[in-house]
Amino acid sequence: MTIPFFDRRNMNFVLNELLDVEQLTRYNYYQEHSQETFDAIIEVAEQIAREYFYPHNAESDKNEPVIVDGRVKIIPEVKEAIQVFAEAGFFAGHHSEELGGIQLPWVVNQACLSIFQAANIATSGYPFLTIAAANLIEAFGSEELKSRYLPPMLDGRCFGTMALTEPQAGSSLSDITTTAESTPEGHYLLRGNKMFISGGEHELSENIVHLVLARIKGAPAGVKGISLFLVPRYHVNPDGSLGEHNDVALSGLLHKMGYRGTTSTALNFGENGRCVSYLIGEPHKGLAYMFQMMNEARIGVGMGAAMLGYAGYLYSLDYARTRPQGRLPGNKDPQSKQVMLVDHADVRRMLLQQKAYVEGAYALGLYAAWLVDQQKISPDEQVRRDCGLLLDILTPIVKAWPSKYCLKANYQAIQILGGYGYTREYPVEQYYRDNRLNPIHEGTNGIQAIDLLGRKVSLFNAAAFKLLIREIAETVKQGSEEASLKDWSRELHQALQVVEETTEELLEVQEQVGMEAYLANASLYLEILGHLVMAWMWLRQAVVASRQIESASASNRSFYMGKLQACGYFFRWELPKIQYQSRILRDMDRTCLDMKDEWF
């Protein structure tokens, strides 16, 4: 039996029918590509994911990394899988040909990566961080750093990490205390402790490059005094060969409830005063550089959350279709044949909810990746600027919404399996544990909410917000032209107005009430804008389905009917809640703000 964890039909729908990614090949940079090359690459990704990533997913959860003789020991299947991944060129795929890449559009790359995430979120963590770290070095590193460190990263011989968090400073990066001292040789000596560093130590690759936030001695306090450093685990000689071990020491492993195969480490930099590190870009601008990697990682987290939700959905769907249980209400004959779980309306509710969450999140994630391409490649400056703005405002949603709602999807997958669902003999409980990390790492969802309402919404005179509203209004227009979508289009229009008015009112009173009160209910704002965006994604999908369904084959017709029904579910069962949530926001509700510590 092939265990389902990934749905190619829906990926094709999003890439080809919703986003029309083939259009990207009109741009010079992507001109060597075609629908056929995209399909062939995706095919390879799926095959590797199925053969090398999926099979050890449960195994690496059961046997998490341990320290043996001072080294991190990881089950061998992980290394093997990543080697195959590297040999297929997925570390470098989206890079330029000069760098050894094949100039694959980021959206196609993201689609490929999503298959690995669905197959094995923990193993895919290593190459993902490496890809993001390489992107950062490429963007901001000096030519020397690039020539020395990029090639092995793009080959998959050297992995990357991001080292931000310190034991005392999680969300508050302003308070990191790792220091860097310049030396006459031009490099810096780092000293400090970092923790929650994914992939911080292992023997999967010949080297590791840590991208570390630290303060140069004498730097201004706060985030304006943070610089970014490249710290290799092993020194790299000018000829590329490896030198001595740098002064970076593993001080411990964290034991997580999920993502167990991705080793999470506490690292000591410069215990012996010899941690050689290299400044990336200019001093004190490290946080801005790091945000490129963080934004990429945030989209990656959202996609990962979507894929974990997706894998659970497909598994529980398969289970519901093949497990007989009980009879339909009203049938009092105990000798009649049992029906399948999927025949119960309440089970279909749990499946529809999952479908609405995971396919919505999936569409949003790939749309964001498509925006990355447009922002980078479009010859039209206005398009580049607009796509950048949309990415700005959508990133917190792409990260937070799937990590909250696709975890809810995993909850329902367990529920459908009943008692079996909570046993470790079935994969859905692992998905649920894995996914529980996503609302936290790469910036908690509370931080995303503050980023959204505190920064992104008002940025450039609310330019990104207004642009998003216009984009959604365009979909409303398209939807209202489809006879079957008139009602939902009207509802999306109304929801749009509610969110717009709520936002305007909030922005108006911001100065008057002060930042603390303005941001007090930011998480609720993230909820309403998130649901609006997700309803938009669903109406966009419904428009495509509605246009295609008349002339579709029987199997495609079923697929499109599923899209329409899931869209209906989202509009009827989910979207209405923004009404009461926006009322709380517009009332500037002070329930949480006014709560006193001593009253708890």
According to CB under 8 A, which residues from 427 to 466 bind its own copies? 429, 432-433, 436-437, 439-441, 444-446, 449-450, 454
Can you tell me the distance from the alpha carbon of 543 to that of 474, in angstroms, rounded to the nearest whole number?
12
In sequence order, what DSSP letters do the residues of 477-544 get, joined into one string?
Answer: HHHHTSGGGHHHHHHHHHHHHHHHHHHHHHHHHHHHH-HHHHHTTHHHHHHHHHHHHHHHHHHHHHHH
Closer residue to its own copies (CB): 136 or 358: 358
Can you tell me the distance from the alpha carbon of 43 to that of 37, in angstroms, rounded to the nearest whole number?
10
Under rule CB under 8 A, residue 550 binds its own copies: no
Closer residue to its own copies (CB): 88 or 552: 552
Interacting residues with its own copies between 24 and 83 (CB under 8 A): none
Size of the site for its own copies (CB under 8 A): 104
Beta carbons of 293 and 211 less than 8 angstroms apart = yes
Q: Contacting its own copies (CB under 8 A), which of 76, 218, 504, 573? A: 573
Under rule CB under 8 A, residue 120 binds its own copies: no
Q: Of 12-20, 295-303, 423-431, 470-478, which part binds its own copies (CB under 8 A)?
A: 423-431
Closer residue to its own copies (CB): 291 or 573: 573
Under rule CB under 8 A, residue 565 binds its own copies: yes
**227 phi and psi angles, rounded to 5 deg:** -115, 165
Under rule CB under 8 A, residue 222 binds its own copies: yes
Helix (H, G, I), strand (E, B) or coil at 73: strand
Q: Of 199-207, 299-307, 474-482, 587-595, which part binds its own copies (CB under 8 A)?
A: 587-595
Beta carbons of 224 and 190 less than 8 angstroms apart = no
Q: Contacting its own copies (CB under 8 A), which of 390, 520, 528, 533? A: 520
Under rule CB under 8 A, residue 343 binds its own copies: yes
x/- letters, 176..195, toward its own copies (CB under 8 A):
-------------------x
Task: Give the long-range contacts of residues 2-6, CB within 8 A, separation 24 or more.
Answer: 3/54, 3/315, 3/318, 3/427, 4/314, 4/315, 4/317, 4/318, 5/54, 5/118, 5/119, 5/310, 5/311, 5/314, 5/315, 6/46, 6/49, 6/115, 6/118, 6/119, 6/307, 6/310, 6/311, 6/314
Structure tokens at 95: 């890079």
Can you tell me the distance from the alpha carbon of 294 to that of 414, in angstroms, rounded to the nearest whole number?
31
Apex 476 CA angle, 470 and 482, nearest 5: 150
Closer residue to its own copies (CB): 266 or 533: 266
Q: Contacting its own copies (CB under 8 A), which of 119, 180, 213, 352? A: 352
Question: Residue 216 forms beta bridges with which residues?
Answer: 180
Under rule CB under 8 A, residue 484 binds its own copies: no
| Cα of 85 vs its chain's centroid, Å | 20
Secondary structure letter of residue 324 according to DSSP: B
Q: Contacting its own copies (CB under 8 A), which of 132, 519, 535, 542? A: 519
x/- letters, 309..338, toward its own copies (CB under 8 A):
--------x---x--xxxxxxx--xxx--x
Closer residue to its own copies (CB): 72 or 368: 72
Interacting residues with its own copies between 237 and 266 (CB under 8 A): 254-258
Closer residue to its own copies (CB): 37 or 444: 444
Query: Least Å distance between CB 63 and its own copies?
Result: 15
Under rule CB under 8 A, residue 568 binds its own copies: yes
Interacting residues with its own copies between 148 and 167 (CB under 8 A): 165
Q: Contacting its own copies (CB under 8 A), which of 184, 186, 238, 419? A: 419
Under rule CB under 8 A, residue 174 binds its own copies: yes
Q: CB neighbours of 335 closer than 8 A, spacing ≥ 6?
A: none
What sign results for the dihedral spanned by CA atoms 592, 597, 599, 600? Answer: positive
Under rule CB under 8 A, residue 170 binds its own copies: yes
In sequence order, what DSSP letters do the residues of 508-519 get, joined into one string?
Answer: HHHHHH-HHHHH
Q: CB neighbours of 344 closer than 8 A, spacing ≥ 6?
A: 325, 326, 328
Q: Of 181-189, 271-279, 363-371, 562-570, which part binds its own copies (CB under 8 A)?
A: 562-570
Under rule CB under 8 A, residue 387 binds its own copies: no
Q: Contacting its own copies (CB under 8 A), which of 196, 289, 367, 538? A: 196
